[in-house]
Amino acid sequence: MPLNPTDRLRHLLRRNRYYVTMRRIQREGPLTALRRRMLWARILDTPPIRMEPTNGNAAAEVHLLCSKRDYLCAIWALKSFYCLSGITCPLAIHLQGQAPDGMVARMRRHFPDARIVLQAEADALVEPELARAGFDRLLALRRRTPFMLKLTDFVLMCRAPRLLLLDSDVLFFAHARDLVEQARASSTAVLFQRDVANMYNISPERAFERFGFRLAPCVNSGIALFPRAAVNLARCEDYLSDDEVARPNTMVEQTLYALAFSERSEIAYLPDSYLVSLQPCTDMGRLVARHYAGASRSLFTREGLPALIEAGFFSKLNPPEKCRR
């Protein structure tokens, strides 16, 4: 569905890093923005995380999408997960958009065993595959919004039977037993976080009318685990025939995941200790993880990082020597 002029301008501005940086500084104030940047950068003084290399033999594979705007958050997300959970399954980091050499070098230094996927590499692999399959809607939408990479690229480039999806604005505060046990098992379980509301491009009523099945409520894809082969891209192509579903916004990939697994009646939810909320958490000790999505994103810096540091996260990383920036 073509964007109207206002939405098109908004879409273009959101892709302009100078505009995004300026707006963030305006919202936070220069001093708060500087403190945030300094706090984010503290993760660069920690040692590398080692894991199994991507070789196709693992039971599960972690995939994360980030860009130059949020890659420091992504390092926090990944190190908190791998360090506190003790998991070693392979990791693929998808770098969306332009990736400066310094950013790529830092990612390789901190995750030396990970597969670092640059945008050009992903385009060369994924776009021909979508075109060969006749998935024209998926291909067109992937070109319009980077959020689609979390579906098309993750599914097509995952080399393990199970895909463990993490967003860059996720933090772990304790051992993620629910994820780790399922990731290591040959289970067909489909796990998502439970959102605060239905954050979809389509209402459950419209989905039932249009596709003939009931849409599972409140699916949030900030943290998810599922069999890679269970994602039917042909059906996702069909869902995109609906103009509401196909809107190129931040919810389109989550909408498609919810539709794809709702049709198979396979969705289960992670416990409430994997929190999605718009409010500050009053009891951080009960959390395994939190997805700092949407209006709660500022809490990643104001709540999540201080809580991790206060709990001794840096000492748990136990650096034998500092990792140079």
Q: pLDDT (tens digit, 0 to 9) for every residue of the chain, 325 residues total?
A: 555 666 565 555 455 555 555 555 556 556 666 788 899 999 999 999 999 998 778 999 999 999 999 999 999 999 999 999 989 999 999 999 999 999 999 999 999 999 999 999 999 999 999 999 999 999 999 999 999 999 999 999 999 999 999 999 999 999 999 898 888 887 788 999 999 999 999 999 999 999 999 999 999 999 999 999 999 999 999 999 999 999 999 999 999 999 999 998 789 999 999 999 999 999 999 999 999 999 999 999 999 999 999 999 999 987 544 444 4
Pick left, alpha or beta for residue 288 (phi over 0 → left; psi -120 to 50 → alpha; otherwise beta). Answer: alpha
Environment class of residue 27 by beta-carbon count within 10 Å: exposed (0-12), middle (13-18) or buried (19+)?
exposed
Environment class of residue 325 by beta-carbon count within 10 Å: exposed (0-12), middle (13-18) or buried (19+)?
exposed
Measured between alpha carbons, how far is 245 from 251 in angstroms, rounded to an integer? Answer: 9
Measured between alpha carbons, how far is 133 from 127 in angstroms, rounded to an integer? Answer: 10
Amino acid (one-letter) located at 219: V
Report yes or no on 80 lying in a domain: yes
Angle between helix axes 71-85 and 30-41 (nearest 10 degrees) is 40
Residue-range definition of the domain harbouring residue 262: 40-317
Report yes or no on 202 lying in a domain: yes
Report yes or no on 162 lying in a domain: yes
Instruction: Count other C-beta atoms under 10 Å from residue 30's C-beta.
Output: 9
By the 8 A CB rule, do 263 and 234 touch? Answer: no
For tokens 């809580």, what's the residue?
A: 307
Measured between alpha carbons, how far is 223 from 64 in angstroms, rounded to an integer? Answer: 10
Measured between alpha carbons, how far is 77 from 71 in angstroms, rounded to an integer? Answer: 10
Euclidean distance between the first and the last CA atom of the chain, given in angstroms as a whole number:
44
pLDDT of residue 54: 84
Measured between alpha carbons, how far is 241 from 239 in angstroms, rounded to an integer? Answer: 5
CATH of the domain at 215: 3.90.550.10
Report yes or no on 33 lying in a domain: no
Report yes or no on 290 lying in a domain: yes
Overall domain count for the chain: 1
Q: Which residues lie across from 170 on neighbouring strands?
A: 291
- Strand arrangement of the beta sheet that strand 274-276 belongs to: 170-172, 289-291, 274-276
Question: Which alpha helices (H) appear in the chain, and where do they start and end?
Answer: 5-14, 17-28, 30-41, 71-85, 101-110, 119-132, 136-144, 152-157, 177-184, 204-211, 233-239, 252-263, 299, 305-310, 313-317
Report yes or no on 301 lying in a domain: yes
274 Cβ contact partners less than 8 Å away, ≥ 6 residues apart:
176, 178, 193, 223, 287, 288, 289, 290, 291
pTM higher than the cut 0.75: yes
Report yes or no on 214 lying in a domain: yes
Report yes or no on 6 lying in a domain: no
